[in-house]
Structure 1
Amino acid sequence: MQKEKLPRHVAIIMDGNGRWAKSKGLPRVEGHKQGVEVSENIIDKANEMGLKYLTLYAFSRENWNRPKAEVSALMSLLKEFLIAKKEKMLRTGIKLNAIGDLDLLPTEVRQTLEETRRDTAAGKGMTLTLALSYGARDEILRAIKKLLRQELTTDKFPVDLTEEEFAKLLDTDDMPDPDLIIRTSGEHRLSNFLLWQAAYAEFVFNDCLWPDFTEEHLKSAIKEYHQRERRFGKTSDQLKGVS
């Protein structure tokens, strides 16, 4: 796939691990393990394609409400992933980023995450962002709280605040908005993911469960993305330069 035809930023809602495991008569954690393997493959393939930004919805704030044993297993898998993947990220130039309320992560996981972010910060390849303990409403609320704290310290409320200025208060201030959002498992909803940033994103919904997702599914979604006309509020004639 030609690099000039790639969207700049692809975000994926990885859904269906539990259903995949259930369909095979396996514990849910086995679905998550297989999901991690698929994530590793998609990360590698996206980087090889030349994708600049890949964001994976790995763990939502709502996921904290799952059974404690499942949450504990997910945190262990996350830590193992970070440790096992770091060497390859360094070798291939992948830069790790993370968004979400990271203070809620277990201390050991948070420390491993910060260490991996620090060690890969100089990477010149793809920026891989993991959405962890993430919820878009929470992100927007935290941004508003930052704004209010600024008001208290400066005694001046920014009445002329622009969208661009507000976006800088979000977790995603150092990356472009997603061009393409992919969701697996046949569900057709955002599930509190990148609500602000998804304003002009294209969506591709795939019926396959995340553990069955392949490079070909990714390429197919990108191909579908390129068949669409992104107008950003303009008309087709305006985009074509027709008066």
Structure 2
Amino acid sequence: MLTGGAGITPAMSMLRYLYDMRATENEVIFIHSARTPDDIIFRDETLLMSKQSHTKVHYVCAQHAEPGMENGFLSKEILQRIVPDIHDSTILTCGPTPYMDAVKSMLNEIGVDMNNYHEESFGDPSKRFNPGGATPKTLDLGCSESTTKSDSPRFHEDNATSEIPDLAADTEDCTVRFSISNQTLTYSPQETLLQVATRAGIAVATNCQMGLCGTCKAKCTAGNVVMDTTEGLTDEDMSNGYVLTCVGRANGLIDLEL
């Protein structure tokens, strides 16, 4: 099993089943890629499985890899070293689209029979909000600091039973200002920041659209954002003012670096 970021979620269902059934007829090699060790989802649970079952667990961290982990990004060299019999293996993959594209490219280079390859995606890309005519420059990761400093934004995470708060009746207060694109739009109470950006033709990198992968995060420099979940954000992201646009809704006037 090869997973990246939030793509570990469906794999965990299979790993738990195999663990609960004490399955021994198949050897399972699980390789998970994450930004840092702190970003590894289900780390304790997968390590426990590796100690008490036939599942072998490996982690690949782009940064700050700990002893026993692979440092950097998944490569064909890492795959062949960890799975020497990969040509005889069934390969199950889930993760962001760029991750799965990279995995397929590696497997093709190694000469793996792609009939043995199976993947689960985050849904039909054609149905995602990211607009085809969006401005490419808004995806520039170098644009990280706004030229205008403002008060630190406030964040709130909804739970499953809470409702989206009533927004200010004044239209001027129901406004998102996109500082990089130099656009200002009003929004309706149910709209996510991703949907508002889409209406403005602003390109936002996006994958799961469930608040899990963190791909769509953007920096909020002023205002109050309500998020359904903060699963896709690290503590550092939160302290630096980042929000998840796919599950975040503005509450009043906000400034967003997009």
State whether TM-score is above 0.5.
no
Higher percent of residues as helix: 1
Which structure would you say has the larger RCO, counting Cα contacts within 8 Å and 6 or more residues apart? 1
TM-score of the two chains, using structure 2 as the length reference? 0.28
Larger Rg: 2
Higher percent of residues as strand: 2
